[in-house]
Amino acid sequence: MTRLSVNINKIATLRNARGGNNPDVIKVALDCERFGAEGITIHPRPDERHIRYQDAYELKKVLTTEFNIEGNPEGSFIKLVEDVKPHQVTLVPDAVDAITSNAGWDTIKHQAFLKETISNFKRLGIRVSVFVDPHPKFIEAAATAGADRVELYTEPYASKFHSNKTEAVKDYIQAAKCAKELGLGINAGHDLDLFNLNYLKTEIPFLDEVSIGHALVCDALYYGLENTIQLYLRQLK
Protein backbone atom coordinates (compact mmCIF):
# COMPACT_ATOMS: atom_id res chain seq x y z
CA MET A 1 0.00 0.00 0.00
CA THR A 2 1.23 3.47 -0.88
CA ARG A 3 -0.06 6.12 1.50
CA LEU A 4 -1.21 9.50 0.28
CA SER A 5 0.00 12.34 2.49
CA VAL A 6 -1.54 15.68 1.56
CA ASN A 7 0.80 18.66 1.81
CA ILE A 8 -1.36 21.55 3.07
CA ASN A 9 1.17 24.38 2.65
CA LYS A 10 -0.83 25.90 -0.23
CA ILE A 11 -3.89 26.12 2.00
CA ALA A 12 -1.83 28.16 4.45
CA THR A 13 -0.60 30.38 1.60
CA LEU A 14 -4.19 31.16 0.73
CA ARG A 15 -5.05 31.86 4.37
CA ASN A 16 -2.07 34.16 4.81
CA ALA A 17 -3.01 36.20 1.73
CA ARG A 18 -5.73 38.00 3.71
CA GLY A 19 -4.38 37.79 7.25
CA GLY A 20 -7.46 36.10 8.73
CA ASN A 21 -8.26 32.43 9.21
CA ASN A 22 -9.97 31.60 5.93
CA PRO A 23 -9.43 28.90 4.83
CA ASP A 24 -8.96 27.31 8.25
CA VAL A 25 -5.85 25.16 7.85
CA ILE A 26 -6.74 22.87 10.74
CA LYS A 27 -10.24 22.24 9.39
CA VAL A 28 -8.88 21.53 5.91
CA ALA A 29 -6.37 19.04 7.33
CA LEU A 30 -9.13 17.24 9.23
CA ASP A 31 -11.30 17.24 6.12
CA CYS A 32 -8.43 15.76 4.08
CA GLU A 33 -8.31 12.93 6.61
CA ARG A 34 -12.10 12.53 6.51
CA PHE A 35 -11.96 12.36 2.70
CA GLY A 36 -9.42 9.53 2.80
CA ALA A 37 -5.92 11.05 3.03
CA GLU A 38 -3.62 8.75 4.96
CA GLY A 39 -1.35 11.50 6.19
CA ILE A 40 -0.82 15.25 6.41
CA THR A 41 2.46 16.93 5.46
CA ILE A 42 3.60 20.43 6.29
CA HIS A 43 6.78 22.21 5.25
CA PRO A 44 7.38 25.14 7.59
CA ARG A 45 10.02 27.61 6.52
CA PRO A 46 11.82 30.02 8.86
CA ASP A 47 9.92 33.04 7.45
CA GLU A 48 6.58 31.21 8.03
CA ARG A 49 5.35 32.45 4.67
CA HIS A 50 2.93 29.57 4.35
CA ILE A 51 2.48 27.10 7.18
CA ARG A 52 3.31 28.65 10.57
CA TYR A 53 5.08 26.97 13.44
CA GLN A 54 1.95 27.43 15.57
CA ASP A 55 -0.03 25.43 12.98
CA ALA A 56 2.24 22.45 13.64
CA TYR A 57 1.40 22.50 17.37
CA GLU A 58 -2.33 22.78 16.63
CA LEU A 59 -2.24 20.02 14.02
CA LYS A 60 -0.45 17.63 16.35
CA LYS A 61 -3.35 17.89 18.83
CA VAL A 62 -6.02 16.86 16.34
CA LEU A 63 -4.62 14.75 13.50
CA THR A 64 -5.42 11.06 13.54
CA THR A 65 -3.38 9.96 10.50
CA GLU A 66 0.37 10.18 9.94
CA PHE A 67 1.87 13.61 10.54
CA ASN A 68 4.95 14.42 8.46
CA ILE A 69 6.95 17.61 8.95
CA GLU A 70 9.52 18.39 6.29
CA GLY A 71 12.17 21.04 6.17
CA ASN A 72 15.77 22.04 6.54
CA PRO A 73 17.04 20.98 9.97
CA GLU A 74 18.32 24.32 11.22
CA GLY A 75 17.78 25.65 14.77
CA SER A 76 14.10 26.67 14.83
CA PHE A 77 13.02 23.69 12.72
CA ILE A 78 14.81 21.23 14.99
CA LYS A 79 13.15 22.74 18.05
CA LEU A 80 9.73 22.57 16.42
CA VAL A 81 10.11 18.92 15.44
CA GLU A 82 11.46 17.99 18.86
CA ASP A 83 8.49 19.72 20.53
CA VAL A 84 5.77 18.43 18.22
CA LYS A 85 7.17 14.92 17.72
CA PRO A 86 5.41 14.08 14.44
CA HIS A 87 5.40 10.48 13.20
CA GLN A 88 7.92 11.38 10.52
CA VAL A 89 10.36 14.17 9.79
CA THR A 90 11.64 14.60 6.24
CA LEU A 91 14.98 16.38 6.01
CA VAL A 92 15.15 18.71 3.01
CA PRO A 93 18.18 20.86 2.10
CA ASP A 94 16.21 23.88 0.90
CA ALA A 95 17.66 27.36 1.09
CA VAL A 96 15.76 29.92 3.17
CA ASP A 97 14.74 31.90 0.09
CA ALA A 98 13.97 28.92 -2.20
CA ILE A 99 10.47 29.09 -3.69
CA THR A 100 10.26 25.33 -3.24
CA SER A 101 12.68 22.45 -2.74
CA ASN A 102 14.80 22.01 -5.82
CA ALA A 103 17.32 19.25 -5.03
CA GLY A 104 17.97 16.37 -2.69
CA TRP A 105 20.79 16.10 -0.15
CA ASP A 106 24.32 15.36 -1.06
CA THR A 107 24.31 12.68 1.62
CA ILE A 108 28.01 12.00 1.10
CA LYS A 109 29.17 15.57 1.67
CA HIS A 110 26.78 16.10 4.60
CA GLN A 111 27.20 12.62 6.08
CA ALA A 112 28.38 13.69 9.55
CA PHE A 113 25.68 16.36 9.93
CA LEU A 114 22.94 14.01 8.76
CA LYS A 115 24.13 11.19 11.02
CA GLU A 116 23.91 13.39 14.10
CA THR A 117 20.60 14.99 13.12
CA ILE A 118 18.98 11.66 12.25
CA SER A 119 20.11 10.01 15.46
CA ASN A 120 18.75 12.93 17.56
CA PHE A 121 15.31 12.66 15.95
CA LYS A 122 15.26 8.86 16.08
CA ARG A 123 16.04 8.97 19.79
CA LEU A 124 12.69 10.77 20.22
CA GLY A 125 10.88 8.01 18.33
CA ILE A 126 10.47 10.05 15.14
CA ARG A 127 10.93 8.23 11.83
CA VAL A 128 13.44 10.06 9.64
CA SER A 129 13.23 10.32 5.87
CA VAL A 130 15.91 12.04 3.79
CA PHE A 131 15.04 13.87 0.56
CA VAL A 132 17.37 12.68 -2.22
CA ASP A 133 17.87 12.74 -5.95
CA PRO A 134 17.49 9.27 -7.44
CA HIS A 135 21.13 8.15 -7.40
CA PRO A 136 22.23 4.97 -5.59
CA LYS A 137 25.30 6.72 -4.13
CA PHE A 138 23.09 9.21 -2.26
CA ILE A 139 20.77 6.46 -1.11
CA GLU A 140 23.62 4.31 0.17
CA ALA A 141 24.99 7.30 2.10
CA ALA A 142 21.52 8.04 3.51
CA ALA A 143 21.41 4.46 4.82
CA THR A 144 24.89 4.83 6.32
CA ALA A 145 23.74 8.02 8.06
CA GLY A 146 20.96 6.00 9.71
CA ALA A 147 17.89 7.16 7.75
CA ASP A 148 14.71 5.07 8.00
CA ARG A 149 13.49 6.16 4.59
CA VAL A 150 14.41 8.22 1.59
CA GLU A 151 12.06 10.55 -0.23
CA LEU A 152 12.83 10.55 -3.94
CA TYR A 153 12.72 14.05 -5.45
CA THR A 154 10.34 13.58 -8.37
CA GLU A 155 10.44 16.96 -10.14
CA PRO A 156 12.82 15.60 -12.85
CA TYR A 157 10.50 12.60 -13.32
CA ALA A 158 7.48 14.89 -13.65
CA SER A 159 9.12 17.25 -16.09
CA LYS A 160 10.23 14.44 -18.43
CA PHE A 161 7.07 12.34 -18.02
CA HIS A 162 5.09 13.72 -20.95
CA SER A 163 7.90 13.44 -23.51
CA ASN A 164 9.27 10.03 -22.46
CA LYS A 165 7.86 8.34 -19.40
CA THR A 166 10.01 5.20 -19.67
CA GLU A 167 13.15 7.31 -19.65
CA ALA A 168 11.72 9.60 -16.94
CA VAL A 169 11.18 6.77 -14.47
CA LYS A 170 14.38 4.78 -15.17
CA ASP A 171 16.59 6.30 -12.46
CA TYR A 172 13.75 6.13 -9.96
CA ILE A 173 13.29 2.38 -10.43
CA GLN A 174 17.00 1.83 -9.91
CA ALA A 175 17.08 4.13 -6.88
CA ALA A 176 14.03 2.47 -5.33
CA LYS A 177 15.52 -1.01 -5.80
CA CYS A 178 18.72 0.17 -4.16
CA ALA A 179 16.79 1.63 -1.21
CA LYS A 180 14.77 -1.56 -0.82
CA GLU A 181 17.90 -3.72 -0.82
CA LEU A 182 19.34 -1.52 1.92
CA GLY A 183 16.19 -1.95 4.00
CA LEU A 184 15.06 1.67 3.62
CA GLY A 185 11.45 2.71 3.20
CA ILE A 186 10.68 4.74 0.08
CA ASN A 187 8.68 7.95 -0.19
CA ALA A 188 8.35 10.21 -3.20
CA GLY A 189 7.31 13.77 -3.75
CA HIS A 190 7.35 16.94 -5.79
CA ASP A 191 5.25 17.73 -8.85
CA LEU A 192 3.31 14.50 -8.69
CA ASP A 193 -0.14 14.84 -10.22
CA LEU A 194 -3.10 12.96 -11.67
CA PHE A 195 -1.19 12.30 -14.91
CA ASN A 196 2.12 11.00 -13.63
CA LEU A 197 1.27 9.37 -10.30
CA ASN A 198 -0.15 6.06 -11.43
CA TYR A 199 2.80 5.28 -13.71
CA LEU A 200 5.26 5.91 -10.87
CA LYS A 201 3.25 3.61 -8.60
CA THR A 202 3.04 0.93 -11.31
CA GLU A 203 6.80 1.01 -11.88
CA ILE A 204 7.61 1.15 -8.15
CA PRO A 205 4.80 -0.83 -6.52
CA PHE A 206 6.56 -0.93 -3.15
CA LEU A 207 6.49 2.87 -2.65
CA ASP A 208 5.54 3.56 0.97
CA GLU A 209 4.23 7.10 0.67
CA VAL A 210 3.78 10.03 -1.66
CA SER A 211 3.33 13.59 -0.43
CA ILE A 212 1.45 15.84 -2.79
CA GLY A 213 0.51 19.48 -2.42
CA HIS A 214 0.51 21.88 -5.34
CA ALA A 215 -1.25 19.85 -8.01
CA LEU A 216 -3.75 18.37 -5.56
CA VAL A 217 -4.81 21.78 -4.28
CA CYS A 218 -5.06 23.11 -7.86
CA ASP A 219 -7.20 20.10 -8.86
CA ALA A 220 -9.42 20.70 -5.85
CA LEU A 221 -10.44 24.07 -7.38
CA TYR A 222 -12.09 22.18 -10.21
CA TYR A 223 -13.14 18.85 -8.69
CA GLY A 224 -13.60 19.77 -5.03
CA LEU A 225 -11.36 18.52 -2.22
CA GLU A 226 -13.23 15.30 -1.48
CA ASN A 227 -13.37 14.16 -5.12
CA THR A 228 -9.78 15.17 -5.70
CA ILE A 229 -8.47 13.12 -2.79
CA GLN A 230 -10.47 10.13 -4.05
CA LEU A 231 -9.01 10.62 -7.55
CA TYR A 232 -5.46 10.62 -6.16
CA LEU A 233 -6.16 7.57 -3.98
CA ARG A 234 -7.44 5.75 -7.06
CA GLN A 235 -4.12 6.39 -8.85
CA LEU A 236 -2.37 4.56 -6.01
CA LYS A 237 -4.55 1.45 -6.02
Cβ contact 44:71 at 8 Å: yes
> Among residues 65, 211, 228, 235, which is the contact residue for ligand PXP, using CB under 6 A?
211
Nearer to ligand PXP, 181 or 223 (CB): 223
**Strand bridging mode 3-7 / 39-42:** parallel
- Candidate segments 25-33, 118-126, 161-169, 184-192, binder of ligand PXP by CB under 6 A: 184-192
Q: For the stretch 149-182, what's the b/e string if a residue is b when 16 or more beta carbons lie within 10 angstroms of its beta carbon?
A: bbbbbbbbbbebbeeebeebbebbeebbebbeee
> Among residues 2, 3, 6, 7, which is the contact residue for ligand PXP, using CB under 6 A?
7
State the burial class of residue 222 (Cβ atoms within 10 Å of its Cβ: 0-12, 13-18, 19+).
Answer: exposed
Per CB under 6 A, contacts with ligand PXP among 88-147 are 90, 92, 100-101, 131
Is 212 near ligand PXP (CB under 6 A)?
yes
Is 43 labeled as catalytic in the residue annotation?
yes
Is 66 labeled as catalytic in the residue annotation?
no
What is the Cα–Cα distance from 37 to 236, expressed in whole angstroms?
A: 12
**Which residues of the chain form contacts with ligand PXP (CB under 6 A)?**
7, 9, 43, 70, 90, 92, 100-101, 131, 151, 189-192, 211-215
Give the residue numbers marked as catalytic: 43, 70, 190
